[in-house]
Chain A
């Protein structure tokens, strides 16, 4: 379990992290979201025990990170931002070094080393010097290092940064597997990742928590939640459909793109628009090859929460499109 209480960090007169409190339980995968400079890495560094908080506290596995740092760090695996390591060592030497520091020995050590090498597909590069490896491999070496002692708590600072789509997918699958019996905190600015791996998301802006809920609940905040997007086959049908759909009592606004022959009907808060839209399609006999229900757009919610001033302007612009 990880518990932070009013965690704050001040650099000069800038408050980088401002009274962040949350509790994470085993089995949870917490996505830590925020724009660059919002305080994500600072928070993770304080949890991992690299920097001391200005005020407030962190406890990991029941150990206070400031009073019992060695015990707290022993139950954690941590991947720092950028996956730093010792460039002049080979992958095998590096993993052995970390295993030694973690107090692992004998058969257990060999076994764990083999497991992380296999899980992160490092077999081909075990004898290679780390600084000659590609960014993707270095990131995976960093992950292997964090996993080698089979920790109960995993803190991963941007684990998929710099990976290609296949590697990203692999890492997400790995996190999903691990989450069965572990507590994982992942920081990211890739929103699709939250959807794929996280059971809970915290959005942080200017050092403060602005949202703490499930990814589905976050999506439900979107104005696109339960919106219906459709694509027409013929332009004249679309022009005819625009006023019809806009006049539906459930519809808040219509966003349309005449060029792509597509439009999105945005429902009024709490209403469903799909039945009315599909009824209208059948009634007028429009040729609609694509029709789908949106769950909500995380990027829009994210923007709204992290730059509150810009959000109404963006919404007005979108609403004015038809």
Chain B
């Protein structure tokens, strides 16, 4: 069997071996519903779309995705099982990708379980289902971005709490990279060209178009490149720190 698939299966199963998976899914669904109906004013808007639903995803992911990613490598390092894994006939890449995919698919499952809201909006009106599918894909990609960041920070420590906090912090910076909060901080110290680059790294900017159902290839490339970058960083961090 393909090695990535073997790692993937074990990792995905391990989520469901503890209550973590169920707690996560319930909290995710509750938060999504609260934001959509209470804060987002889903009914009050009187429009048949899922804007109020998708608009809050970046913020929900910011808090919840680090909870999925924190154990990926920190737990392996803490229990010492990383020594077992890394002395199996596999490459570091296969392990990094297999584990990441497991976490990403798990996030995807949680996301798919929000389907009642999609049924609701179809029952109430005639939404643009193509746009909704596009927004789901975009949301999943963004979850992948958060997860890749969390994977790397989980590899950097053997403490899951530290992995959670640092992943949330770095996620926050990426989320708001295009906004004054972050830009004002960096404007004084880096050249303007770099400020623009940082601004273009914002999750919110890239997610906004997708969440409205507009799939721009640049946004897809952005998330794919982001994931690839952080996974490469994960491999480097592991290579340097796995035995400590």
A72-115 with Cβ < 8 A to chain B: 73-74, 76, 78, 80, 82, 84-89, 93, 97-98, 100-103, 105
Q: Is the CB of A80 within 8 A of B6?
A: no
Asked whether B122 is an interface residue with its Cβ less than 8 Å from the other chain, the reply is no
Q: Mark A19-56, 1 if CB is under 8 A from B, else 0.
A: 00000000000000000000000000100111100000
**Neighbour of B10 across the interface among A45, A71, A84, A97, CB < 8 A:** A97
Q: Is the CB of B17 within 8 A of A70?
A: no
Best-surrounded residue of B18, B80, B242 (most CB of chain A within 10 A): B80
B residues near A76, Cβ cutoff 8 Å:
87
Knowing A45-B243, A89-B14, say if A98 contacts B88 (CB, 8 Å).
yes
Q: Mark B67-109, 1 if CB is under 8 A from A, else 0.
A: 0000000000001110110111111000000000000000000
Q: Is the CB of A145 within 8 A of B87?
A: no
Complex Cα–Cα for A220 and B198 (A): 71
Whole-angstrom distance from the CB of A155 to the nearest CB of chain B? Answer: 9
Knowing A89-B17, A101-B6, say if A84 contacts B81 (CB, 8 Å).
yes
B residues near A86, Cβ cutoff 8 Å:
10, 14, 79, 81
Knowing A45-B243, A50-B243, say if A84 contacts B80 (CB, 8 Å).
yes
Best-surrounded residue of B10, B84, B86 (most CB of chain A within 10 A): B84
Q: Is the CB of B88 within 8 A of A102?
A: yes
B residues near A100, Cβ cutoff 8 Å:
1, 6
Complex Cα–Cα for A45 and B10 (A): 24
Whole-angstrom distance from the CB of A179 to the nearest CB of chain B? Answer: 21
Complex Cα–Cα for A102 and B81 (A): 16
Q: Is the CB of A88 within 8 A of B17?
A: yes
Whole-angstrom distance from the CB of B108 to the nearest CB of chain A? Answer: 22
Complex Cα–Cα for A70 and B7 (A): 16
Knowing A45-B243, A84-B80, A87-B79, say if A74 contacts B89 (CB, 8 Å).
yes
User: Which residue of B has the minimal Cβ distance to A82?
Assistant: B80
Q: Is the CB of A70 within 8 A of B91?
A: yes
A residues near B3, Cβ cutoff 8 Å:
101
Knowing A50-B242, A50-B243, A71-B89, say if A85 contacts B81 (CB, 8 Å).
yes
Q: Is the CB of A80 within 8 A of B84?
A: yes
User: Which residue of A has the minimal Cβ distance to B10?
Assistant: A97
Complex Cα–Cα for A86 and B83 (A): 11
A residues near B89, Cβ cutoff 8 Å:
70-71, 73-74, 101-103
Q: Is the CB of A45 within 8 A of B90?
A: no
B residues near A51, Cβ cutoff 8 Å:
242-243
Q: Is the CB of B87 within 8 A of A73?
A: yes
Whole-angstrom distance from the CB of A206 to the nearest CB of chain B? Answer: 20
Q: Is the CB of A101 within 8 A of B81?
A: no
**Neighbour of B80 across the interface among A80, A97, A102, CB < 8 A:** A80
Knowing A84-B80, A102-B89, A145-B84, say if A97 contacts B243 (CB, 8 Å).
no
Whole-angstrom distance from the CB of A74 to the nearest CB of chain B? Answer: 4
Best-surrounded residue of A50, A78, A82 (most CB of chain B within 10 A): A50
User: Which residue of B has the minimal Cβ distance to A87?
Assistant: B79
Complex Cα–Cα for A102 and B10 (A): 14
Whole-angstrom distance from the CB of A207 to the nearest CB of chain B? Answer: 16
A205-253 with Cβ < 8 A to chain B: none
Q: Is the CB of A101 within 8 A of B88?
A: yes
B residues near A73, Cβ cutoff 8 Å:
87-90
B10-60 with Cβ < 8 A to chain A: 10, 13-14, 17-18
Complex Cα–Cα for A89 and B10 (A): 9
Not counting A45-B243, A69-B91, A101-B3, a sample of 20 additional A-B residue pairs whose C-beta atoms are within 8 angstroms of each other reads A50-B242, A50-B243, A70-B90, A80-B84, A80-B87, A82-B80, A84-B80, A84-B81, A84-B84, A86-B79, A86-B81, A87-B79, A88-B17, A88-B18, A89-B14, A100-B1, A101-B6, A101-B7, A101-B90, A105-B1
Pick 21 A–B contacts, CB within 8 A, sort by A.
A49-B86, A50-B86, A70-B89, A76-B87, A80-B87, A84-B80, A84-B81, A84-B83, A85-B84, A86-B81, A87-B79, A88-B14, A89-B14, A93-B13, A97-B6, A97-B10, A98-B88, A100-B1, A100-B6, A101-B90, A145-B84
| Minimum-distance CB pairs A-B, first 8 | A84-B80, A74-B89, A88-B17, A80-B83, A100-B6, A73-B89, A101-B88, A51-B243
